[in-house]
Amino acid sequence: MTLRIFEALVGAGVTLLALVIWLWGIPAWVEPNDFVTVAPDLMPRVAVGAIGALGAMMCLHRLFLEPDRTSPAPINPKATLLTVIVLALFAVTVTLMLTVGYLVGGVFITGALTIFMGQRSWWAILLTAVCPPLLLWGFFEILLGIPLP
């Protein structure tokens, strides 16, 4: 598989994922509200639509507008393993946020990604992992009065 075909497939995959989220993900997770002037699903649809359009443009550009390159696709086993680890961290984070709550999930993902990026100083990891979720929780819970799950 050449690099050009690989990048076209990535663009097609991004477009397909955006279409699935547009058709099934947003209607399942965003509740409609009759008492607002802007629909609650507007910004998710704008973001997913933009990502899907960019993925489609990437696919079309790689297929039709670029000369054929014969360089092999950059499939690196180490990079693939690291990508799988990061995806697993995000899956654990979503599970934690749904079961335990925002604070635990936020602290977990921030700390895990800080360690994953190479930080080895424990005070910096704790400061980075604990402060942002606590500040966001305090902003919404205390200042705005909006409870976080």
CA distance 99 to 55: 33
11-69 residue pLDDT tens: 999 999 999 999 999 999 888 888 888 889 999 999 999 999 999 999 999 888 877 66
**H helix runs in 1-149, sequence order:** 3-20, 26-29, 42-60, 77-99, 102-116, 122-138
Sequence-separated (6 or more) residues with CB below 8 Å from residue 28: none
SS3 1: coil
Please give the model's pTM, rounded to 2 decimal places.
Answer: 0.60
Domain residue extents for the chain: 1-75, 76-149
pLDDT digits (tens, 9 = 90+) for 100-134: 988 899 899 998 889 888 888 989 998 989 998 88
